[in-house]
Amino acid sequence: MIEVRRISGALGAEIAGVDLSRPFSKEDLAQVRRIWLDHLVVFFRNQELTAKQFMAFAEQFGEPVEYPMIEGIEGFPKIIEVKKLEHERVAFGGIWHTDTAYLERPPMASMLLAREVPPVGGDTLFANMYLAYESLSDGMKNLLLKLTAVNSSTKADASRTREDAVKGKEQKQYVAEHPVVRTHPETGRKALYVNSGHTVRFSGWTDEESASLLKYLYEVQVKPEFTCRFSWQPGSIALWDNRCVQHNPVNDYHGYRRVMHRITLAGDVPK
């Protein structure tokens, strides 16, 4: 029996009563996908999956793809290890962002499986980009609907968080332009689609002209009432919708290890 427990008013739900080491039935898969689309990010507890089982779970939701910056774990090139070790001070991806928005076809979704977690800290925050867009005035919505944004893999705020993880691998710069407001292909809802990790300016605008409006949008996107917070345990899994969700791993556990495995699922060209 699938059970659902919301974890905040804005987004997020824990799903219980499932064993992810086994394939879903057609009916259960459809139900879980509906729950995911309704809540934007869903969480599963106590799922001690092997890498093979984790990949099989991901393949039920979409097409796993390789992450462009980091090589996958041995035997599974589409599973990357996201880790912060005891001596490190910077957390991988430790900034509000949407995964790889600098690609022409950003991922539909991301999955994260906790392998090792610190005794305290290391939570992840998530934010609802539907609510961020819907909170804006009609005048601001009309302006943003006309704009596209330039997204880059080398924006300093985000690239600094990858330095420990990408050592020894040649880094390529990726740049893509996407609508500032995208329409979700499955729900039809509009979501604000800029992020402080990768968006550098509006298309046709200078960096200076873009800066103040982008700063305002970044502040709107992460208002507390648009967010939820998830505390990890070994075997916890998060599945979030990159088309309408941002996330931020909280870097508050210096001196401890945190090791996660991540899979990203292929998406479409934002419209």
Is the CB of residue 108 less than 8 Å from the CB of residue 268?
yes
Burial class (CB within 10 angstroms; exposed 0-12, middle 13-18, buried 19+) of 196: buried
Is the CB of residue 193 less than 8 Å from the CB of residue 177?
no
Q: Considering the candidates 182, 243, 261, 262, report the single residue annotated as catalytic.
A: 262
**Residue 99: what residue type?**
D
Burial class (CB within 10 angstroms; exposed 0-12, middle 13-18, buried 19+) of 26: exposed
99 is catalytic: yes
Q: Which residues contact 231 (CB under 8 A, 6 or more apart)?
A: 123
247 is catalytic: yes
Angle at Cα 255 formed by Cα 251 and Cα 261, nearest 5°? 60
Q: Considering the candidates 97, 184, 243, 258, report the single residue annotated as catalytic.
A: 97
Q: Considering the candidates 178, 182, 247, 261, report the single residue annotated as catalytic.
A: 247
Q: Considering the candidates 99, 198, 201, 243, report the single residue annotated as catalytic.
A: 99
97 is catalytic: yes
Please compute Rg for the chain using Cα positions: 18
- 124-128 and 148-152 beta bridge pairing: unpaired
What residues act catalytically?
Answer: 97, 99, 247, 262
